[in-house]
């Protein structure tokens, strides 16, 4: 997309003068052939947008969002709304080189490409569900392949249509649209972006968090990373021998394709003894790559179970044990067993999906097998630290008066429900909530709201964990907020990330409302506004006015007002700031009689006498 | 056995002139608890025979085990005076019955917060001084605290038995020792003299000094002897008392009093002749079992022994005889009743110290007059764990009004600001209880002037609070206590079993309550921290936490951790500049160290954000040489808005500067809390804003742009101004005999300590050594010292000051750099410090 745009800018300036372009559609066809595969992509983009470029929100974003290429002359004025964009160097490479390389490559490589991007399955999916407008969502690092995917997919679809004899033959051409640079996390399906082009399906490429969608069906292409099968099986059986607990194998979705092989190889491996119950190895089910939206948020969990049902679940033997799902992986345990009885073996990178697993199953022993380096990583102290850090953030949040809810997703199913639930929770806790829509928060963006003591980031499970010490106020997840703002709930170590689990979280019955809240940050009891206010206000409603007057007449300590924790609402915070803005309230506020102004045109007002 | 009932006590509580609230204070091991026992015995709570061995007020198992007091314990005693002895009492009184609310306090410096809490709720103090060891560092500390609270002291020279049995000194030498002890104490008291309190020095001839042997349960004041001899010599009692002390000599040969030693062999000082010698004689006779001589002597003194007691031999006999002749309780209680103020007297001058609000409102008046009909003013000074696990008694003193069972009270916490709802609760008192040693007695109500324990308020009071009636909305709270020690030693605790976390959280909450000094917080890394005044204090706290407050769930504690501070040595080598994320705003800044003593002045509150800017600039310009105009341009203090760092605006003619002030202040609070070196607090740094360039469009210079930039520029200026670490340093006082000095010096040397004062205690072979010792080196110091001196030296450590570490933390491999790395590792930060280039931008 960047590349395309970059060229677009150049082209535009180049072609602007000789050809007065009135129609962007025709402009698309103006691309010189030398641009190779980019032409179709841009054309596609433009086609999809009809006549006006402005129609596409993601395109519009490009114009509005600053473009932080160092070479770019465009200076970014509005950096408050800036989105951190990393332009990978390989993207900036000249495309012809890339293509040159590709063209030199053998036929097998092309086959690899097709299988890597699941072209056949994708095409089948589109055909069987008769989608006509399909959005292809690419993360930044896969954008370089987008044009090629489109062209291959298009070819494939065409050939499918031709071979399909049952169809009438005059079906409309299937529109393929490339979407890039999502406003929110690129791991989620960008439903809003897709709906701008009226797409009826989204094909999502690359790393995904598998968050359920609200309206659109989605198809996930995980990609296929290579894995040293023998080495992986070797490490796994090694680990199985040393571990005293049965092992549950979880993996990054990019390794989903080879899990069956790993499993087979493991069974065949002679060193592995299946009769020993201690060293049992279980595998999480490979998720099915498609997902259909669920209308009822309450059914979220059922949905996920369904999806797991259509995957090839050979491990589930119909036992009614607890079912688990995380980041697309699902598995069931035998009756009476819990995750604490298992050791986890993770195949994949140290990414957010893994961090998620570590947090969620923090009571389990976890090892990671790094497939790219073919080695085991057992030291996860850094990940363990995260949990403790989150615990601290919860304690911080308990002391907050003003909470900023950051809406970081508009796609993940149930997000509205969660936001409402959080609002209710915060209000019930006697705190003030403000809702802010913000994709990809960064310290500078959040520091624009210094009145917020804590931010609550509602987003998909894998982007939710924002913890950098650069943030002025901590950013917590909805689950942490539930603990922090629900009096009486305790941090037990259990950790939930998905909205589905969160909605179904049992409501903690507030046990001991009697006791004042103890703050570990201040090392003492702190007041809770709600308790106090309810009691006192009801009792002495007649005194309310007197109290208010009394307070209004009180001398307040106004210095250092910006210090956190003082204000109870945004308005109070602003009222306490030393700088009040340029409009210093005039003392002279008596109403003034109106005067009749001038009449007429600037060329000559009626009260002007000179008539030229 | 028990001589009095709760009802009797309750009855006297109404006679505010017949109440004495007093605490027993002293250096560690000078015999407070032992002496208290004798008093308790007099009230009939424990048997006279075992007085001195039981240590009634050491209620905890570990107190008994270690032989030191850890928690202060209150006890109410009932005492009936005879008409005859009250003859001389000039003050107001209501009959002969007296109620003494006595609080025994710990002597070890680690627990001196307990002393502070005890002093707040008492009016008088019995200062106990070991006659051999004399006035020690802790004696001085507690005396200073007591006088600061306007507590009137009386003195008792304790461990007299050592003079007679152990040291066997003769009369004149003993007199010299005693008078030196008294002199030393008076010197201290004179330093902290207070016009309202009047002369607080103590004089044996006025009866404000007693001589006691706590272990043996006897004591006397000169009054006892004066009474005895007055009739014999036919002189006035008070005249006799004067003769019994000071430069008054008596020669039995000539039967003449002189003010100078005449030189004749039989001429002896009055004190020696009439007090010391007779006692010595009795003791010697008892110890030598010369019963044939003893009985006539006793008859002469009017002492009658029970027949079964006559069979005793040696020490027990001596103890019994002395107890009967000079019972400690009579002497001490008389001294207290005569010379310590009743609540109604004391509150008249204490009100100024106590009440925060205007001194002419009804609450101040009620406190001043100790008015039981006035509005309730009650100060809770500490929380005492109840036998019912997890609950606490709120222990305090009623200063005005009455507190009763079922009364709805307004609880004003330490952060309460009048007129606001912060830290304010309304709650009913479930029960009012008075404390009688190990027992508690429920009473209907408690009027002003008394100590009381309340049930049912513990869920709203962390450590201390002011209570008043529900309707008294305009009452101000009673001033918070000032502690002489600070929690500098910290350990991180975690539970062994992860699922015990809720227990730990609950336990820490209770621990925080149970001790006035301990602080339970949470670190950025999510670790729970317990901070205490010293190693011993922490040890006790953690033991309590595990055994009592967590029901035995196991905890893991880290090694003690000391917090450091970050400072700068010099002015920044250049003006540093940072750009905002959008590159459109630039902040220029320099850092420099604050003038010497200024950081301490800010700590003490002499200079602070709440001062009137005019006054502040006057102090700054006169005492610290600041430019007068500059002093008016202080933007803020930090961290926590009151800390010892500041931002000063030095720029001229900068547009929109006012607009970004709030953002810079926010950035400063953040940065000064977590310095650039190791994220420790900053200390003693003055940041000067040299220049600011701002974008003309307001949206581009919002908080989002300025706050992170300000933080970066603070760090950059800190790093360019020779940053250094400050470490906390203890002042150690060690008392030891000469032969132990070598061991002390070698241990101190090993521990980077240095001695700055060494003084021989006149008349004793003991040396007093004062030294500075880095807190970080102090762990295990006492045990090492004990080992090196075969137990003869006993250190007392009090936090004294912050000391700059000379090595440069920016220089790789230096000691400070290593320290920084360790701290960063512990906090889970990147081990490498963030380089200056991350904070500073080029134009």
Q: What is the mean pLDDT of residues A145-169?
A: 78
Question: β-pairing, B249-251 with B439-443?
Answer: unpaired
Helices (H), B357-427: 362-369
**What pLDDT shows up at residue A222?**
84
- Nearest chain A alpha carbon to B642: A560
What does the mean pLDDT of chain A come to? 68
Q: What residues of B are in contact with residue A559 (Cβ under 8 Å)?
A: 609-610, 636, 641
In order of their start, the domains of chain A are 113-162+172-221 (3.40.50.11840), 229-293+323-378 (3.40.50.11850), 391-506+518-526 (3.40.50.11860)
Whether the predicted pLDDT of B401 surpasses 80: yes
**Does the N-terminal peptide bond of residue B715 adopt cis geometry, omega within 30 degrees of 0?**
no
**What pLDDT shows up at residue A559?**
41
**What pLDDT shows up at residue B608?**
82
Q: Decide: B591 and B686 in contact? Cβ < 8 Å.
A: yes
Contact B524 A76 (CB under 8 A): no
**What pLDDT shows up at residue B685?**
94
**What pLDDT shows up at residue A505?**
63
Domain with CATH 3.90.1430.10 in chain B: 222-326
- CB atoms under 10 Å from CB of A28, counted, come to 18
Contact B414 A514 (CB under 8 A): no
Whether the predicted pLDDT of B586 surpasses 90: yes
Predicted confidence band at A504 (pLDDT cuts at 50, 70, 90)? low
B732 alpha carbon, distance to own chain's centre: 16
**What pLDDT shows up at residue B782?**
85
Q: Which of B36, B30, B65, B11 is nearest to B158 (CA)?
A: B30
- Sequence-distant (≥ 6) Cβ neighbours of residue B15 within 8 angstroms: B93, B94, B95, B97, B99
Greater model confidence, A417 or A21: A417
Determine the topology of domain B489-562 in CATH: Alpha-Beta Plaits (3.30.70)
B499, B522, B658: residue with CB nearest A520: B522
For the ranges A411-420, B41-50, B531-540, B825-834, the lowest mean pLDDT is seen at: B41-50
What are the beta bridge partners of residue B590? B688
- Nearest chain B alpha carbon to A362: B498
B632-658 burial by CB neighbour count: b if 16+ within 10 A, else e? bbbbbbbbebebbbbbbbbeeeeebbe
| Cβ under 8 Å to B: A residues 376-415 | 385, 387-392, 395
Contact B526 A559 (CB under 8 A): no
Determine the topology of domain B1-217+327-347 in CATH: Rossmann fold (3.40.50)
Greater model confidence, B323 or A529: B323
Instruction: Choose the mutation target among B411, B462, B654, B695 for the interface with A, i.e. most A CBs under 10 Å.
Output: B462
B667 alpha carbon, distance to own chain's centre: 36
| Rounded Cα gap, residues B713 and B689, in angstroms | 10
Greater model confidence, B158 or B735: B158
Greater model confidence, A527 or B358: B358
Contact A523 B828 (CB under 8 A): no
Q: What residues of B are in contact with residue A444 (Cβ under 8 Å)?
A: 580-582, 704-705, 708
**What pLDDT shows up at residue B245?**
85
Contact A579 B659 (CB under 8 A): yes
B498, B522, B584: residue with CB nearest A392: B522
Give yes or no for A450 touching B (CB within 8 A): yes
Domain with CATH 3.30.70.870 in chain B: 489-562
DSSP string computed for B181-196? HHHHHHHHHHHT-BTT
A520, A550, A559: residue with CB nearest B609: A559
**A571 burial type by CB count under 10 A (0-12 exposed, 13-18 middle, 19+ buried):** exposed
Q: Decide: B509 and B391 in contact? Cβ < 8 Å.
A: no
Greater model confidence, B48 or B221: B221
Give yes or no for A518 touching B (CB within 8 A): yes
Q: What is the pLDDT of residues B469-501, one digit of tens each?
A: 888 888 888 888 888 778 888 898 888 887 788
What distance in Å separates residue A81's CA from the closest CA in chain B? 10
Q: What is the pLDDT of residues A252-297, one digit of tens each?
A: 888 888 888 888 888 776 554 554 544 577 788 777 777 777 654 4
Q: Decide: B664 and B689 in contact? Cβ < 8 Å.
A: yes
Q: What is the pLDDT of residues A541-596, one digit of tens each?
A: 555 555 555 555 444 444 444 444 567 777 777 777 777 666 555 666 677 788 88
Contact B641 A563 (CB under 8 A): yes
Q: What residues of B are in contact with residue A530 (Cβ under 8 Å)?
A: none
**What pLDDT shows up at residue B10?**
81
Q: What is the pLDDT of residues A397-419, one digit of tens each?
A: 888 888 999 988 887 777 888 88
What distance in Å separates residue A78's CA from the closest CA in chain B? 7
Contact B525 A385 (CB under 8 A): yes
- Nearest chain A alpha carbon to B668: A563
| Rounded Cα gap, residues A111 and A123, in angstroms | 15
What distance in Å separates residue B719's CA from the closest CA in chain A? 18
Q: What is the pLDDT of residues B639-690, one digit of tens each?
A: 888 889 999 998 888 888 888 888 899 899 999 999 999 989 999 999 999 9
Contact A80 B702 (CB under 8 A): yes
Q: How many CB pairs below 8 Å do chains A and B form together? A: 168
- Nearest chain A alpha carbon to B669: A563
Domain with CATH 3.40.50.300 in chain B: 1-217+327-347
**What pLDDT shows up at residue A64?**
34
- Collapsing DSSP to helix, strand or coil, B426 comes out as strand
- Sequence-distant (≥ 6) Cβ neighbours of residue B341 within 8 angstroms: B20, B123, B124, B152
CATH class of segment(s) B566-722:
alpha beta
**B203 burial type by CB count under 10 A (0-12 exposed, 13-18 middle, 19+ buried):** middle
Q: C-alpha dihedral over B168, B169, B170, B176, to 10 degrees?
A: -150
Kindly state the tokens that stand for A218: 């989605």
B528, B669, B708: residue with CB nearest A443: B708
Q: Decide: B675 and B718 in contact? Cβ < 8 Å.
A: yes
Give yes or no for A543 touching B (CB within 8 A): no
Whether the predicted pLDDT of B167 surpasses 90: no
B509, B610, B704: residue with CB nearest A447: B704
**What pLDDT shows up at residue A107?**
53
- Nearest chain B alpha carbon to A84: B581
Whether the predicted pLDDT of B829 surpasses 50: yes
Kindly state the tokens that stand for B208: 């404000």
| Cβ under 8 Å to B: A residues 561-590 | 561-564, 577-579
Contact A448 B582 (CB under 8 A): no
Q: What is the mean pLDDT of residues B823-836?
A: 86
Residue B420, phi-psi category: left (phi > 0), alpha (psi -120 to 50), beta (remainder): beta
Instruction: Choose the mutation target among A404, A447, A536, A542 for the interface with B, i.e. most B CBs under 10 Å.
Output: A447
Q: What is the mean pLDDT of residues B372-380?
A: 90
CATH class of segment(s) B222-326:
alpha beta
B460, B528, B658: residue with CB nearest A516: B460
Whether the predicted pLDDT of A102 surpasses 50: no
- CB atoms under 10 Å from CB of B186, counted, come to 18
Contact B522 A363 (CB under 8 A): no
Instruction: Choose the mutation target among B483, B520, B662, B671 for the interface with A, i.e. most A CBs under 10 Å.
Output: B662
What are the beta bridge partners of residue B409? B427, B469
Determine the topology of domain B355-469 in CATH: Elongation Factor Tu (Ef-tu); domain 3 (2.40.30)
**A486 burial type by CB count under 10 A (0-12 exposed, 13-18 middle, 19+ buried):** middle
B509, B528, B828: residue with CB nearest A385: B828
**What pLDDT shows up at residue A370?**
83
Q: What residues of A are in contact with residue B461 (Cβ under 8 Å)?
A: 525
Determine the topology of domain B725-807 in CATH: Alpha-Beta Plaits (3.30.70)
Longest dimension (CA), chain A: 111
Contact A562 B609 (CB under 8 A): no
Domain with CATH 3.30.230.10 in chain B: 566-722
**What pLDDT shows up at residue A271?**
52
Whether the predicted pLDDT of B218 surpasses 70: yes
Domain with CATH 3.30.70.240 in chain B: 725-807
B420, B525, B658: residue with CB nearest A389: B525
Q: What is the mean pLDDT of residues A90-102?
A: 37
Q: What residues of A are in contact with residue B558 (Cβ under 8 Å)?
A: none
Question: β-pairing, A247-251 with A201-205?
Answer: unpaired
| Rounded Cα gap, residues B332 and B35, in angstroms | 10
Q: What is the mean pLDDT of residues B99-120?
A: 85
| ipTM at complex level | 0.81
Q: What residues of B are in contact with residue A388 (Cβ under 8 Å)?
A: 525-527
A390, A551, A578: residue with CB nearest B662: A578
- CB atoms under 10 Å from CB of B184, counted, come to 18
What does the mean pLDDT of chain B come to? 84
HEC-encoded secondary structure of A214-242: CCCCEEEECCCCCCCHHHHHHHHHHHHHH
DSSP assignment, residue B558?
P
Q: Decide: B257 and B243 in contact? Cβ < 8 Å.
A: yes
What distance in Å separates residue B625's CA from the closest CA in chain A? 25
């Amino acid at each position: 997309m960047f590349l395309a745009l970059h060229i677009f800018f150049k082209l535009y300036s180049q072609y602007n003068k000789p050809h007065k372009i009135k129609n962007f559609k025709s402009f698309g066809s103006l691309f010189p052939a030398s641009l190779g595969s980019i032409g179709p992509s841009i054309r596609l983009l433009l086609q999809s947008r009809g006549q006006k470029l402005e129609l596409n929100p993601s395109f519009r974003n490009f114009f509005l969002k600053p473009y932080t290429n160092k070479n770019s002359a465009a200076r970014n004025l509005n950096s408050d709304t800036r989105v951190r964009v990393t332009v990978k160097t390989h993207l900036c490479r000249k495309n012809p080189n890339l293509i040159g390389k590709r063209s030199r490559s053998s036929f097998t490589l092309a086959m690899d490409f097709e299988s890597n991007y699941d072209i056949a399955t994708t095409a089948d999916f589109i055909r069987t569900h008769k989608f006509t407008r399909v959005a292809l969502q690419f993360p930044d690092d896969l954008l370089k392949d987008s044009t090629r995917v489109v062209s291959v997919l298009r070819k494939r679809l065409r050939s499918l249509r031709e071979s399909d004899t049952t169809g009438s033959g005059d079906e409309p051409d299937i529109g393929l649209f490339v979407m890039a640079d999502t406003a929110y996390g690129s791991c989620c399906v960008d439903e809003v972006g897709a709906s701008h082009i009226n797409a009826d399906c989204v094909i999502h490429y690359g790393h995904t968090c598998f968050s359920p969608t609200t309206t659109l069906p989605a198809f996930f292409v995980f990609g296929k990373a290579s894995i040293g099968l023998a080495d992986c099986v070797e490490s796994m059986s090694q680990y199985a021998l040393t571990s005293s607990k049965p092992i549950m194998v979880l993996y990054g979705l990019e390794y989903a394709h080879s899990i069956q092989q790993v499993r087979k190889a493991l069974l065949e491996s002679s060193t592995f003894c299946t009769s020993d119950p201690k060293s049992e190895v279980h595998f999480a089910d490979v998720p099915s790559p498609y997902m259909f939206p669920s209308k009822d948020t309450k059914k979220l969990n059922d949905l996920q179970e369904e999806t797991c049902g259509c995957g090839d679940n050979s491990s589930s033997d119909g036992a009614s044990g607890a079912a688990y799902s995380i980041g697309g992986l699902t598995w069931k345990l035998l009756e009476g067993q819990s995750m604490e009885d298992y050791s986890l073996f993770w195949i994949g990178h140290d990414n957010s999906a893994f961090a998620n697993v570590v947090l969620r199953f923090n009571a389990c022993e976890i090892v990671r097998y790094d497939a790219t380096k073919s080695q085991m990583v057992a030291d996860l102290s850094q990940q363990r630290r995260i949990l403790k850090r989150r615990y601290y953030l919860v304690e911080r949040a308990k002391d907050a008066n003003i909470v900023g809810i950051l809406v970081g997703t508009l796609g993940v199913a149930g997000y509205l429900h969660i936001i409402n639930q959080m609002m209710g929770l915060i209000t019930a806790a006697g705190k003030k909530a403000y809702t802010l829509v913000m994709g990809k928060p960064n310290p500078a963006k959040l520091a624009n709201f210094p009145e917020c003591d804590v931010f609550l980031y509602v987003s998909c499970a894998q982007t939710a964990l924002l913890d950098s010490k650069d943030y002025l106020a901590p950013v917590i997840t909805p689950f942490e907020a539930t603990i922090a703002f629900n009096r009486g709930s305790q941090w037990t170590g259990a950790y939930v990330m998905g909205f589905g689990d969160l909605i179904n979280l049992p409501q903690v019955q507030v046990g001991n409302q009697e006791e004042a809240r103890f703050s570990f940050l201040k090392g003492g009891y702190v007041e809770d506004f709600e308790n106090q206010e309810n009691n006192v206000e009801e009792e002495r409603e007649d005194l309310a006015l007197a109290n208010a007057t009394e307070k209004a007449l009180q001398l307040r300590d106004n210095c250092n007002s910006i210090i956190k924790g003082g204000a109870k609402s945004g308005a109070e915070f602003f009222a306490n700031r030393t700088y009040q803005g340029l409009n210093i309230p005039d003392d002279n506020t008596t109403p003034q009689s109106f005067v009749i102004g001038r009449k007429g045109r600037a060329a000559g007002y009626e009260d002007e006498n000179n008539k030229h | 056995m028990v001589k009095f009932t709760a009802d009797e006590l309750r009855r006297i509580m109404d006679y505010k002139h017949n109440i004495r609230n007093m605490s027993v204070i002293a250096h560690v091991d000078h015999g407070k608890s032992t002496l208290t026992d004798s008093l308790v015995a007099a009230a009939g709570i424990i048997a006279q025979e075992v007085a001195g061995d039981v240590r009634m007020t050491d209620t905890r198992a570990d107190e008994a085990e270690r032989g030191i007091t850890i928690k202060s314990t209150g006890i109410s005693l009932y005492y009936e005076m005879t008409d005859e002895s009250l003859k001389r009492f000039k003050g107001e009184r209501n009959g002969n019955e007296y109620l003494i609310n006595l609080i025994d306090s710990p002597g070890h410096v680690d627990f001196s917060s307990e002393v502070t809490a005890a002093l707040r709720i008492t009016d008088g103090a019995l200062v106990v001084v070991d006659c051999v060891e004399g006035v020690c560092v802790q004696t001085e500390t507690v005396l200073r605290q007591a006088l600061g609270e306007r507590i009137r002291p009386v003195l008792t020279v304790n461990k007299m038995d050592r003079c007679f049995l152990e040291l066997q000194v003769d009369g004149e030498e003993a007199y010299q020792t005693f008078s030196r002890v008294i002199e030393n104490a008076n010197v201290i008291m004179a330093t902290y003299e207070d016009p309202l309190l009047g002369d607080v020095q103590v004089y044996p001839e006025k009866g404000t000094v007693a001589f006691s042997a706590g272990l043996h349960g006897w004591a006397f004041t000169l009054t006892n002897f004066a009474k005895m001899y007055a009739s014999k010599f036919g002189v006035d009692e008070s005249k006799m008392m004067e003769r019994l002390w000071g430069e008054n000599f008596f020669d039995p040969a000539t039967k003449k009093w002189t003010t100078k030693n005449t030189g004749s062999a039989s001429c002896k000082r009055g004190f020696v002749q009439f007090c010391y010698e007779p006692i010595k004689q009795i003791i010697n006779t008892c110890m030598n079992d010369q019963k044939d001589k003893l009985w006539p002597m006793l008859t002469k003194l009017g002492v009658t022994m029970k027949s079964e007691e006559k069979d005793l031999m040696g020490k027990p006999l001596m103890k019994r005889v002395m107890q009967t002749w000079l019972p400690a309780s009579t002497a001490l209680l008389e001294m207290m009743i005569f010379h310590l103020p009743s609540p109604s007297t004391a509150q008249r001058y204490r009100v100024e110290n106590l009440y925060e609000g205007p001194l002419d409102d009804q609450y101040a008046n009620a406190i001043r007059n100790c008015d039981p009909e006035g509005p309730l003013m009650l100060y809770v000074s500490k929380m005492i764990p109840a036998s019912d696990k997890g609950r606490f008694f709120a222990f305090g003193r009623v200063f005005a009004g009455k507190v009763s069972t079922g009364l709805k009270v307004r609880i004003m916490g330490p952060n309460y600001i009048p007129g606001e709802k912060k830290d304010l609760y309304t709650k009913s008192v479930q029960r009012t209880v008075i404390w009688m040693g190990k027992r508690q007695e429920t009473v209907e109500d408690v009027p002003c002037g008394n100590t009381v324990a309340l049930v049912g308020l513990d869920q709203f009071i962390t450590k201390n609070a002011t209570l008043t009636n529900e309707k008294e909305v305009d009452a101000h709270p009673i001033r918070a206590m000032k502690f002489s020690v600070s929690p500098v030693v910290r350990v991180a605790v975690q539970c062994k079993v992860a699922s015990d976390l809720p227990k730990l959280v609950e336990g820490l909450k209770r621990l925080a309550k149970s001790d006035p000094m301990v602080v339970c917080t949470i670190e950025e890394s999510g670790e729970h921290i317990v901070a205490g005044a010293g190693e011993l204090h922490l040890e006790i706290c953690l033991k309590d936490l595990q055994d009592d407050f967590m029901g035995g769930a196991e905890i893991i504690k880290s090694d003690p951790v000391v917090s450091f501070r970050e400072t700068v040595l010099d002015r920044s080598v250049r003006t540093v500049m940072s750009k905002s994320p959008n590159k459109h705003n630039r902040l220029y800044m320099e850092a420099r160290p604050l003038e010497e003593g200024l950081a301490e002045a800010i700590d003490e509150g002499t200079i602070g954000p709440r001062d009137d800017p005019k006054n502040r600039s006057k102090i700054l310009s006169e005492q610290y040489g600041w430019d007068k105009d500059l002093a008016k341009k202080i933007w803020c203090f930090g961290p926590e808005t009151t800390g010892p760092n500041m931002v000063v605006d030095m720029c001229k003619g900068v547009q929109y500067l006012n607009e970004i002030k709030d953002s810079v202040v926010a950035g400063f609070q953040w940065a000064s809390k977590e310095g650039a070196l190791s994220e420790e607090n900053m200390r003693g740094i003055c940041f000067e804003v040299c220049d600011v360039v701002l974008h003309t469009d307001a949206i581009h210079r919002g908080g989002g742009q300025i706050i992170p930039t300000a933080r970066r520029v603070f760090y950059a200026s800190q790093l360019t101004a020779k940053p250094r670490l400050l470490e906390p340093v203890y002042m150690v006082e060690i008392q030891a005999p000469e032969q132990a000095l070598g061991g002390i010096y070698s241990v101190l040397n090993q521990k980077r300590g240095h001695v700055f004062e060494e003084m021989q205690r006149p008349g004793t072979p003991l040396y007093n050594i004062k030294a500075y010792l880095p807190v970080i080196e102090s762990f295990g110091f006492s045990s090492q010292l004990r080992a090196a001196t075969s137990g003869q030296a006993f250190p007392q450590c009090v936090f004294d000051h912050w000391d700059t570490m000379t090595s440069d933390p920016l220089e790789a491999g230096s000691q400070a750099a290593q320290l920084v790395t360790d701290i960063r590792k512990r906090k889970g930060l990147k081990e490498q410090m963030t380089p200056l280039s991350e904070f500073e931008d080029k134009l």
